[in-house]
A and B are shown apart, each in its own frame.
Chain A
């Protein structure tokens, strides 16, 4: 009896020791990493920079894009308390107990390279261009020249918005000639590089452009600030943080900053609409 008792103790003791040896989380200091989508990477980076300036002790870092999915996976794995996303949560992700906190509203705009004179396209025209049915700008009333279609990988948040809002894109398969790019910045740079290009990017990422990219009016609705605010322009994209129920003290403070007047000011300054915390 007594030996069983002692063995039990030995077992639990060793189990506790093993748990302490294996399960101990290393102390990183007060650093918050916010991985996720490239769509809102610039604005989150700017917010983080402002936050870091105001709080020199703490450090919020915004790594390169791993996509909304990558960010969510990181939160689910417990690698970080906060991720940046540009798409709604999937049902499975909601079941995992994740919370989505939208903080800014951006829009997806179709842009054309500097050699393209076309400024407005209908949705079917766009669909025909992106599927490769129309390969020359002459086909949509522009100057002759091959249309260089730049698109994004499946799962990209801007593409999801488009597929969600523009019916023909839901079933559309992209032209084999189209370049499939992975990052917002490279997309902007590539659109810049090829003068006959067309592509879609978030409005806020246009700041990477060296100039010469022109937004296209969608069915005559120009992507102006007024149309964003009014909601007439349909391709709006919500940037949000994804977290668990309790994000932790530093994440909570960063969120408080994002929703503060200072944070909202930064968001608005970048041509986005700052959202209230809900």
Chain B
């Protein structure tokens, strides 16, 4: 995991950046520190060098001051003057002993006017004749000579002072200090540094004892002469800094070497180094930690993304989880590739399915269209066939009716001839059969017309009152023959001046009343007209035909308005009829904007109701009004043995205006018995 993760390169990168930055920083600050510390030490050692030069100059000045004091020392001058005399040398020795003790000099001598040593401290063979030393001739000429000499005795600074008694030159006084070990020790005590004096040959002329054993770099001593350069060197091993510089002591040049201990500097350097190292380590650690967090933050979404890709792969493909090698990005890329492959596969599969589906769809569509076309064709063929059939039937009916009328006409004529009783009965039977046949043909013709869509409703003036009365009159004889009470009534307020097709309305009423009479053996048949609804120009009327006949069984009720259908097969056998009457009636009612319905209780009777929407006449002509006579002032007595007949008659009277009509049973007349009644009609049947 760790080896494959992106964390490693990220952290490594950060560490490398940090490391290189730290390295540069470390190097820079360390070299800076080193440099500044070195500069400090160099400045210090240069300062010491300057101090040493100043001290040497001071020593020269002191030497000069001493020699000038000697020039004015009368005891010395006096003892030199008398030195040649008896006891003179001893006296001079006494004075000079005293002076040498007092003067802090390394060398003290007095010469005579020729430059020959009278006495010298310390007393050495080489100093017996001081004519050899530089400047003696000039001093004997009267000049005060300050000189320095790197002779066999080491480096010595000397002042040769001419001594006078009055104007007479007595000789010279020579004082000198040596730049020896003692001087070096003195310098070391004053400056805190170790001091060496090197000659041009590179040998130590004088030095402090401590450093004596360490030796000098002869080449550097020579180099400081030849290049006249100050060389400053650090000795890391001995933790020293050494300055080699040519120094002019009067006119003589020596190499001054100043040595300082720089262990403190190296300690500081090491401490700085340690601190920097720790700081760098801390920063590296910090970078590593921060880098780890950063890497985690970076890789977490990558892993999450990869996880999602894997989830998609698992969802849409059967492939199991794959252990990815490589870092997060590579893993993500590979997972993504696989996901893309799966998704592509899915899309391809779906596209294929979709293509199949759409092809199936198209096929289905086509099949449906074909089937629909077939159905339409079949339906059209069927309709055409039906229409052709209806046409044929209508035509045939019409063609049949013409000869049938001929047959009936001749039978009528035949009935008027002289015939035997048997012949007459045959003719009567033939006539009845013919009329039945003609009726049958007419029904078929009507139905055919309706089916063929050729039946048109006429629209003429229609007198409802007269229409009802005519129908009642038409069936009156038949009802009387069967002993059945037939009554009709129109509700008060029903408009009677209407527009519509009287022939078709009559046909419906005739059919319903004919059926009622046909299926009623006793009792009564009534026709009642009501107003269902009335609007501005039209009125919806309801016609009710009730009978007290055999009734219709409930299971047969739904079928009775269908063509060629009666209550049951036995009905036709018993009562005859084509079975087309109610179907035609229903069609006609519908054409008049109404509906037809029936209810029945077998054994008790039936009720047929239909509605028809008829137009009202704009202004009924007064001539058309059938009754101008007013019954308002009349009193009417209605007497009837039958309840239905009496009620019908009473309703008629009310419609005519007889509001105060009285009723009575057959035994007891209605109305007020106090007033006399004038009989008008004895019977409705007459």
Residues of A in contact with B (beta carbons under 8 Å apart):
3, 6-7, 10-11, 14, 17-18, 21-22, 64-67, 69-70, 73, 115, 145-146, 148, 153-155, 176-177, 179-183, 186, 189-190, 193-196
Contact = CB atoms under 8 A, between A and B. Distances in A.
Nearest to A148: B134
Contacts of A193: 135, 138, 145, 251
Contacts of A148: 134
Contacts, number: 86
A153 B225 contact: yes
B183 to A, nearest CB: 20
B581 interface: no
Interface in B1-45: 9-10, 12-13, 16-17, 20-21, 23-24, 27-28, 31
A194 B138 contact: yes
A65 B228 CA distance: 7
20 contacts: A3-B13, A10-B13, A10-B16, A10-B20, A11-B20, A14-B20, A14-B24, A18-B24, A65-B228, A66-B229, A67-B227, A70-B229, A153-B225, A177-B151, A179-B252, A182-B225, A182-B228, A182-B253, A194-B135, A195-B137
Contact of B9 (A3, A67, A145, A189): A3
A154 B16 contact: no
Contacts of A196: 137
Contacts of A65: 228
B674 interface: no
B226 interface: yes
A181 B251 contact: yes
B200 interface: yes
A217 to B, nearest CB: 24
A69 B137 contact: no
Contacts of B28: 18, 21-22
A14 B17 CA distance: 9
Given A3-B9, A21-B28, A176-B152, A66 B228 contact: yes
B182 to A, nearest CB: 24
A243 B9 CA distance: 53
Interface string B341-355: 000000000000000
A154 B201 CA distance: 11
Contacts of B200: 153, 180
A147 B228 CA distance: 27
4 closest A-B pairs by CB: A3-B9, A70-B227, A190-B251, A155-B226
A172 B229 CA distance: 26
B53 interface: no
B528 interface: no
B226 to A, nearest CB: 5
B226 A67 contact: yes
Nearest to B199: A180
A6 B13 contact: yes
A181 B248 CA distance: 9
Interface string B200-231: 10000000000000000000000001111100
Nearest to B17: A10
A17 B252 CA distance: 50
B132 interface: yes
A189 B251 contact: yes
A154 B227 CA distance: 10
Interface of B (DSSP majority class): helix
A146 B253 contact: no
Interface in B116-143: 131-132, 134-135, 137-138, 141
Contacts of A186: 248, 251
B13 A115 contact: no
A181 B225 CA distance: 9
B257 to A, nearest CB: 16
A144 to B, nearest CB: 10
Interface of B: 9-10, 12-13, 16-17, 20-21, 23-24, 27-28, 31, 131-132, 134-135, 137-138, 141, 145, 149, 151-152, 200, 225-229, 246, 248, 251-253
A26 B355 CA distance: 81
A7 B13 contact: yes
Contacts of B17: 7, 10
B408 to A, nearest CB: 119
Contact of B141 (A7, A69, A146, A195): A195
Contact of A183 (B21, B27, B228): B228
Nearest to A156: B226
Q: Kindly name the residue among B135, B227, B253 whose own CB sees the greatest number of chain A CB atoms within 10 A.
A: B227
Given A66-B227, A69-B226, A70-B228, 7 more contacts: A21-B24, A21-B28, A70-B227, A145-B137, A146-B131, A181-B251, A193-B251
A60 to B, nearest CB: 21
B12 A3 contact: yes
Nearest to A197: B134
Given A66-B228, A181-B251, A186-B251, A7 B138 contact: no
B596 to A, nearest CB: 96
Given A3-B12, A65-B228, A66-B227, A18 B27 contact: yes
Nearest to B15: A7
Given A3-B13, A7-B17, A153-B226, A195 B251 contact: no
A180 to B, nearest CB: 5
B251 A179 contact: yes
Given A3-B12, A6-B13, A67-B227, A146 B27 contact: no
A179 B9 CA distance: 74
Contacts of B227: 66-67, 69-70, 73
Contacts of B228: 64-67, 70, 182-183
A139 B561 CA distance: 186
Contacts of B145: 193
A32 B137 CA distance: 46
A180 B253 contact: yes
Nearest to B132: A146
Contacts of A21: 24, 28
Nearest to A65: B228
A6 B28 CA distance: 23
Contact of B138 (A3, A155, A180, A195): A195
A26 B305 CA distance: 55
Nearest to A182: B253
A70 B141 CA distance: 40
Contacts of B226: 67, 69, 153-155
Nearest to B10: A3
Contact of A194 (B16, B21, B134): B134
Given A146-B137, A148-B134, A181 B21 contact: no
Contacts of A115: 137
B95 to A, nearest CB: 29
A69 B229 CA distance: 10
A277 B132 CA distance: 50
A154 B17 CA distance: 55
Contacts of A69: 226-227
Contacts of A11: 16, 20
A199 to B, nearest CB: 11
A193 B250 CA distance: 12
Nearest to B230: A66
A64 B248 CA distance: 14
Contacts of B21: 14
A146 B228 CA distance: 30
Contacts of B134: 148, 179, 194
A11 B228 CA distance: 44
A276 B464 CA distance: 160
Contacts of B151: 176-177
B253 to A, nearest CB: 5
A4 B142 CA distance: 87
Nearest to B8: A3
Nearest to B135: A194
Given A67-B228, A193-B138, A17 B24 contact: yes
Q: Which of B16, B21, B225, B228 has the most CB of A within 10 A?
A: B228
A148 B134 CA distance: 7
B512 to A, nearest CB: 104
A204 B484 CA distance: 185
